[in-house]
């Protein structure tokens, strides 16, 4: 169902990309996501899976570069255009939307601290790829560290007693990397390049880190099994192990002197995108419930003719519209201003993921018993929405981080 965009100043290009991505999400991503939801994690990514066909089509359209400017080979979208693409992708499949977002990490971060080496090895090869042969991942989560790896600006981030578990030591012209991520690395077991957030100076705590691009075909890199999880089953996730992995010195995008500021940018962009993604999830759930209510008869009349169902639908509608307005404004601001105001991205992520879960839950209630049946899309949306409350930082932890920034009066 097309929605009314309250932004009356959308350009012709923004309207065109909205329509094109919506059609792709409807015709390719959603059917693939529904089919893959029924498979084991191993079968999702095996050779010949529909997963690869859908991902290659996305790459062929350039959708793997929606965050990247045209000057580096990306789609060159406006911040509003980026939000539109993220919402439409996730409306079709939040699994694929997140995969396409994290696949950009090596190129996106290399672009923020560009050198000829980084551009030639990690940006241009990625943006020119049309066959999903270059897939990045965000390797930040660790066995004993999750949301706290993102707590930039808080006191604990610089506590020397709290250190990252993946380490890097400089030996000559090479970094030697050791450690293991947790199993929650999106695209972890299919990535060709890992963007690894690691510890260089343990005396600085989590702030003493670096960001390094590690090709996953290097000696010493291995991967665990793909994670078997409740929702977002088309989104591959799994651990990556680094054992004395040697990478050229030039692969380190950022060292400890700029690690905190780059992690802040990462969180602002990632959480801002999550707000857009889960606006799409909320919208999808609302539309499923609305269409069902127009067909289902109870008490001698259609569900949509019952006042309480209308009340529920309007509440869901309000949440979707509020999520879009808030997340779009946040994403536009933080993609336009440097440094970003990360507490807004955090607030957007929390609000929109909670809105998506509430709307999906309301949708399941409107469908009644069918809301629990796997033959109905709402059941999948409810599971997908649940994951959003945890991924990219659990909402409770993120709220504490942002609350600390508010308490300090940081602008």
Per DSSP, the residues of 42-109 read: HHHSSTT-HHHHHHHHHHHTTGGGTTS-GGGTS----HHHHHHHHHHHHHH-HHHHHHHHHTTHHHHH
Q: Are strands 174-180 and 240-248 parallel, antiparallel or unpaired?
A: antiparallel
Instruction: Give all domains of the chain, ordered by start, each with its CATH number.
Output: 12-128 (1.10.540.10), 136-258 (2.40.110.10), 260-407 (1.20.140.10)
**pLDDT higher than 70, residue 118:** yes
Contact 147, 141 (CB under 8 A): no
How many whole angstroms separate alpha carbon 64 and alpha carbon 87? 14
| Model confidence band, residue 1 (pLDDT cutoffs 50, 70, 90) | low
Predicted pLDDT at 148: 85
The SS3 call for residue 170 is strand
**322 exposed, middle or buried (CB, 10 Å; 0-12, 13-18, 19+)?**
middle
**pLDDT score recorded for residue 113:** 94
Assign 187 to helix, strand or coil. Answer: coil
Give me the mean pLDDT over the 141-161 stretch. 87
Q: What is the pLDDT, as a whole number, of residue 409?
A: 79
Q: Please report, rounded to a whole number, the percentage of residues in the chain having pLDDT higher than 70.
A: 99
Separation between Cα atoms, residue 391 and residue 378, nearest integer Å: 20
Structure confidence by residue, pLDDT tens digits, 169-188: 999 999 999 999 999 999 99
* Rounded CA separation 356/324 (Å): 11
**Cβ atoms within 10 A of the Cβ of 116, count?**
8
d(CA 362, CA 308): 12
Residue of 355 and 157 predicted with greater confidence = 355
Q: Would you give the end-to-end CA distance of the chain in angstroms?
A: 39
The Cα–Cα gap between 66 and 85 comes to 7
Q: 10 Å Cβ neighbour count for 222?
A: 13
Average pLDDT, the chain: 96
Give the up-direction half-sphere exposure of residue 350: CA atoms within 13 A in the CB hemisphere: 17
The predicted structure's pLDDT at residue 410 = 57
Mean pLDDT of 37-48: 98
Q: 150 Cβ partners below 8 Å, 6+ apart? A: 140, 263, 267, 393, 398, 401
Confidence category of residue 291, pLDDT binned at 50, 70, 90? very high
Question: CA 391 to CA 194: how far, in whole Å?
Answer: 18
Q: How many CB atoms lie within 10 A of CB 346?
A: 29
DSSP result, 92-154: H-HHHHHHHHHTTHHHHHHHHS--HHHIIIIIHHHHH-SSS---EEEE--BTTBSGGGG-TTS
């Amino acid at each position: 169902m097309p929605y009314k965009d309250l932004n009356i100043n959308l350009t012709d290009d923004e309207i065109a990309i909205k329509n094109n991505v919506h059609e792709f999400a409807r015709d390719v991503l959603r059917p693939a996501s529904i089919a893959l939801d029924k498979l084991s994690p191993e079968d999702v990514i095996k050779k010949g899976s529909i997963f690869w066909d859908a991902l290659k089509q996305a790459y062929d359209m350039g959708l793997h570069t929606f965050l990247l400017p045209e000057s580096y080979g990306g789609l060159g979208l406006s911040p509003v255009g980026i939000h539109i693409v993220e919402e439409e992708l996730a409306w079709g499949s939040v699994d694929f939307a997140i995969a396409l977002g994290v696949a950009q990490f090596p190129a996106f971060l290399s672009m923020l601290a560009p050198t000829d080496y980084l551009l030639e090895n990690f940006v241009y090869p990625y943006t020119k790829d049309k066959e999903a042969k270059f897939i990045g991942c965000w390797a930040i989560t660790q066995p004993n560290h999750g949301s706290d790896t993102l707590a930039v600006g808080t006191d604990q981030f610089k506590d020397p007693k709290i250190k990252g578990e993946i380490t890097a030591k400089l030996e000559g012209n090479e970094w030697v990397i050791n450690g293991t991520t947790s199993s929650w690395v999106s695209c972890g077991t299919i990535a060709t390049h890992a963007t690894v957030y690691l510890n260089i100076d343990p005396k600085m705590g989590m702030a003493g880190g670096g960001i390094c691009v590690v090709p996953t075909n290097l000696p010493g890199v291995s991967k665990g099994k793909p994670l078997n999880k409740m929702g977002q089953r088309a989104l591959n996730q799994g651990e990556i192990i680094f054992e004395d992995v040697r990478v050229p010195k030039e692969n380190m995008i950022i060292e400890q002197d700029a690690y905190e500021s780059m992690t802040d940018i990462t969180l602002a962009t990632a959480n801002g995108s999550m707000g857009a993604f889960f606006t799409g999830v909320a919208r999808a759930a609302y539309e499923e419930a609305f269409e069902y209510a127009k067909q289902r008869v109870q008490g001698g009349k259609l569900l949509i003719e019952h006042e309480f169902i209308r009340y529920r639908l309007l509440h869901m509608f309000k949440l979707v519209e509020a999520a879009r307005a808030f997340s779009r404004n946040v994403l536009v601001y933080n993609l336009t201003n440097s440094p970003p105001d990360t507490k807004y991205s955090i607030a957007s992520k929390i609000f929109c993921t909670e809105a998506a879960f509430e709307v999906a839950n309301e949708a399941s209630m409107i469908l009644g018993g069918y809301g629990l049946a796997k033959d109905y899309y709402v059941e999948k949306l409810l599971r997908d929405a649940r994951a959003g409350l945890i991924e990219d930082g659990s909402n409770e932890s993120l709220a504490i981080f942002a609350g600390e920034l508010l308490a300090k009066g940081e602008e």
